[in-house]
């Protein structure tokens, strides 16, 4: 793939009876292309804060 959208699943447990029950929600994290990701990497952006 040269571009796409990244999602994460959010699992919300609503019951534990009979093997359980949950709601599943897909959350969009972002969209980008190979070129956009490479530009971010080349800028050496740090996503973590050092304390």
Dump pLDDT digits (tens) for 15-31.
Answer: 999 989 999 999 999 99
Instruction: Count Cβ neighbours within 10 Å for each residue of 15-47 and write b for 16 or more, e otherwise.
Output: eeeeeeeeeeeeeeeeeeeeeeeeeeeeeeeee
Q: Give the pLDDT band (50/70/90) at residue 49.
A: low
Task: Tell me the C-alpha distance between 40 and 23, whole Å.
Answer: 34
Which pair of structure tokens corresponds to residue 15?
A: 């019951």
pLDDT at 50: 61
Is 14 a residue whose pLDDT tops 70?
yes
Is 43 a residue whose pLDDT tops 60?
yes
Q: Give the pLDDT band (50/70/90) at residue 2.
A: confident
Task: Tell me the C-alpha distance between 50 and 8, whole Å.
Answer: 26
């Amino acid at each position: 793939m040269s571009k796409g959208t990244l999602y994460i699943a959010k699992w919300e447990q609503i019951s534990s009876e009979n093997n359980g029950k949950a709601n599943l929600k897909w959350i969009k994290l972002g969209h980008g292309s190979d070129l956009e990701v490479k530009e971010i990497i080349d800028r050496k952006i740090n996503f973590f804060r050092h304390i």
